[in-house]
Amino acid sequence: MSETFTKSMARNIFYGGSAFFFLLFLALIFDTESALPETDNRLNITEQVAHGKRLWEVNNCIGCHTLLGEGAYFAPELGNVYTRFGNSKEAIMGFIKSRPVDGIPGRRSMPQFNFTDEELEAVAEFLKYSSEINTQGWPPNIQG
Amino acid sequence: MMYQSQSVAKPYFIAAIGLFVGQILFGVILGLQYVAGDFLFPEIPFNVARMVHTNLLIVWLLFGFMGAAYYMVPEESETELYSPKLAWIMFWIFLVAGALTILGYLLVPYARLAELTGNDLLPTMGREFLEQPTITKIGIVVVALSFLFNIGMTILKGRKTAVSLVMLVGLVGLAVFFLFSFYNPENLVRDKLYWWFVVHLWVEGVWELILGSMLAFVLIKTTGVDREVIEKWLYVIIAMALITGIIGTGHHFFWIGTPGYWQWWGSIFSAMEPIPFFMMTLFAFNMVNRRRRNHPNQAAVLWALGTGVMAFLGAGVWGFLHTLAPVNYYTHGTQITAAHGHMAFFGAYVMIVLTMISYAMPMLRGRKEANSNASQVVEMWSFWLMTVSMVFITLFLTAAGVLQVYLQRYTDTPLPFMQVQDKIEIFYWLREGAGIVFLVGLIVYVTSFFVGQSEAEATAKE
């Protein structure tokens, strides 16, 4: 780089540019926050959904699955599992409940979490709520 | 070594390498579970092994960054570290907290760990990469603050160089953005939105400052190029990193319930994110070509050049590959993401820490400037084994990802996830093979510390 472009000019671009784009980012986040109520399905966040989210977390479901495409890629996407299972909470609960304790020989298997009926219901409600978030048309199809 | 207190870097580097070995062992386990699904089930299910793999990575890189700072800052500031004792205390706290957390993952079911550590009081667990119990997170904050205090006081009392200031800004950013890990709203969309404030603004934001500063330091030392020139490059690179990377966060806000305009902001800005990485490649090669001296530690120079190339490929090229919204619509959350994640973390952050260890460790172990030739040859072998096998891991995962995208998302007759996984199994086997070569490379790397110790120091070629 030539002598006319000095280190202090480079430094000023760094501080000025970073500050400007950080403020712009904050403005966009602020705008996003005000637009979120229309897309994030917050009206359906019940106590049961919140409980379901907590169960989702403390059982580390994200360690195998994706949810809205984020997480691990070892097991199916669950953001749309409610629709994939025919809009049925019972199907979700039945699947979780029926996982064999010792797994399936040679294959990937979900652990048996020994949920109570109330917990199963909460997890299913949480996944139903997740499926109703407006994700701009993602995933491309029902397979997630 | 110019200052006695730089020696506190040594335990940090040793811990980093030890945890790196653990990380890779679990990586090999995970790779096997991809093809033999019942391997170690139900004792160590995939989610647990993955948590150990990713958390060990984060912890050992943090050890590496802290060790690097303890080595660099006294030398840059031309003064002893403010408190070597504090650095030692924090070393043990961080190591014990890290080890206990990993043991917790392995020995008790995760839900039980959450219960035992009082997750209900302040629920922060169970989110990708932020799985640590809340108490561990608080510990990380305490360690980070003490560390920043120590480094900050050292810089304050000494010479202030661009290298150490950029390092400090990066480390402060690291600590500040980590605070978002304590925010876990019930609203899933907002949870995800702020989760990225930690994850993205770390690896595609402030960590790049740390990376740039470490690279600049090693290049100043090994090439003898004028500091003014190197620091100018450094400022331009990190300016581009933040100018593109901050709004570039938007490439994570395409499909998580956020407004559609992020598809524009995210695509445009993140498409420019390769620029700083490309400049880093140019920077490394330019400085080495314009070197005023031949440094006897050729292994360190090799790592520095390798960082420039691999960070650009992994973070820049493989990131660009799936960052545009219309492409990401199909690739989001597939093996393409995994491919990018592996090469980007290795190329940018693993390699820069290994660069710094390669440069500093000989001095920390009593050499004047470099290890013996014998040791360097072994170390360079490990460089090639790890780098080439990581290229193959990435290529195999990319192939798996392309097929997955096609079969599961692109074709007119999409197949269910697990059926697709069976069809792409061959690439998971190949990836596992490459992973084992990586492990061999790592063993060779560790061996290099024990080879040629009694032999004379390498001398610079004229």
pLDDT single digits (tens) B259-309: 999 999 999 999 999 999 999 999 999 999 999 999 999 999 999 999 999
The string of pLDDT tens digits covering residues B153-198 is: 999 999 999 999 999 999 999 999 999 999 999 999 999 999 999 9
3-state SS, residue B122: coil
The Cα B350–Cα B208 span in angstroms is 12
In the predicted structure, residue B354 carries a pLDDT above the cut 90? yes
* Residues in chain B, total: 462
Query: How much is the pTM?
Result: 0.97
Residue B144: predicted pLDDT = 98
Work out the percent of chain A whose per-residue pLDDT is above 70.
99
Residue B166: predicted pLDDT = 98
The Cα A87–Cα A84 span in angstroms is 7
Per-residue burial over B432-454, b = 16 or more CB atoms within 10 Å of its CB, e = otherwise: bebbbbbbebbebbeebbebbee
Fold that domain B1-160 belongs to in CATH: Four Helix Bundle (Hemerythrin (Met), subunit A) (1.20.120)
Residue B1: predicted pLDDT = 84
Average pLDDT over residues B213-233: 97
Q: Which residues of B touch A85 (CB under 8 A)?
A: none
* Residues in CB range of B193: below 8 A, 6 or more apart: A29, A32, B253, B256, B258
Residue B322: predicted pLDDT = 98
3-state SS, residue B451: coil
**Residue written as tokens 């020696």?**
B7
Residue B228 has its nearest CB partner, among A7, A58, A66, at: A7
Q: Which residues of B touch A49 (CB under 8 A)?
A: 186
Residue B183: predicted pLDDT = 98
In the predicted structure, residue B462 carries a pLDDT above the cut 90? no
A/B interface, count of CB pairs below 8 Å: 231
In the predicted structure, residue B461 carries a pLDDT above the cut 90? no
The Cα B73–Cα B163 span in angstroms is 9
In the predicted structure, residue B232 carries a pLDDT above the cut 60? yes
Confirm or reject contact between A81 and chain B (CB < 8 A).
no
Q: What ipTM was assigned to the predicted interfaces of this complex?
A: 0.97
Average pLDDT over residues A68-92: 98
Residue A10 has its nearest CB partner, among B232, B250, B409, at: B232
Query: Does B333 contact A73 at a Cβ distance shorter than 8 Å?
Result: yes
CB atoms within 10 A of CB B310: 26
Q: Which residues of B touch A142 (CB under 8 A)?
A: 414
Query: Does B235 contact A7 at a Cβ distance shorter than 8 Å?
Result: yes
Work out the percent of chain B whose per-residue pLDDT is above 90.
99
Mean pLDDT, chain A, rounded, equals: 97
Chain A nearest-CA distance from B48, in A, is 7
Enumerate the β-bridge partners of residue A71: A66
The secondary element (H helix, E strand) that includes residue B5 is none
Assess contact for B294 and B224: CB atoms under 8 A. Answer: no
Query: Does A74 contact B34 at a Cβ distance shorter than 8 Å?
Result: yes
**Token pair for B18:** 């030890």
Average pLDDT over residues B409-433: 98
Chain A nearest-CA distance from B312, in A, is 20
**Token pair for B404:** 């997955």
**DSSP label at B203?**
I
The full set of domain ranges for chain B reads 1-160, 210-462
In the predicted structure, residue A126 carries a pLDDT above the cut 70? yes
What is the amino acid identity at position A72? Answer: A
Chain B nearest-CA distance from A94, in A, is 18
Chain B nearest-CA distance from A96, in A, is 15
Q: Which residues of B touch A58 (CB under 8 A)?
A: 110-111, 114-115, 119, 123, 125-126
In the predicted structure, residue A76 carries a pLDDT above the cut 80? yes
Nearest CA in chain B to A112: B42
Query: Does B416 contact A76 at a Cβ distance shorter than 8 Å?
Result: yes
The Cα B329–Cα B318 span in angstroms is 16
Enumerate the β-bridge partners of residue A104: A107
Q: Which residues of A touch B231 (CB under 8 A)?
A: 7
Per-residue burial over A41-65, b = 16 or more CB atoms within 10 Å of its CB, e = otherwise: bbeebeebbbbbbbbbbbbbbbbbb
Query: Does A106 contact B236 at a Cβ distance shorter than 8 Å?
Result: no
Residue B384: predicted pLDDT = 98
Q: Which residues of B touch A74 (CB under 8 A)?
A: 33-34, 46-47, 50
List phi, psi (to 5°) of A104: -120, 125
The Cα A6–Cα B243 span in angstroms is 19
Name the superfamily (CATH) of residues B210-462.
Cytochrome c oxidase-like, subunit I domain (1.20.210.10)
Query: Does B243 contact A107 at a Cβ distance shorter than 8 Å?
Result: no
The string of pLDDT tens digits covering residues B49-79 is: 999 999 999 999 999 999 999 999 999 999 9
Enumerate the β-bridge partners of residue A67: A70
Q: Which residues of A touch B123 (CB under 8 A)?
A: 54, 57-58
CA distances from B92 to B103, B188, B353 (A): 16, 36, 20
The string of pLDDT tens digits covering residues B86-141 is: 999 999 999 999 999 999 999 999 999 999 999 999 999 999 999 999 999 999 99
What sign does the CA torsion over B44, B50, B54, B55 have? negative
Q: Which residues of A touch B46 (CB under 8 A)?
A: 63-64, 72, 74-75, 108
Residue B329: predicted pLDDT = 98
What is the amino acid identity at position A107? Answer: R
The Cα A136–Cα A58 span in angstroms is 28
Mean pLDDT, chain B, rounded, equals: 98
Nearest CA in chain B to A100: B42
3-state SS, residue B64: helix
**Residue written as tokens 């480079």?**
A10
Cite the beta strand spans of chain A per DSSP E.
Answer: 66-67, 70-71
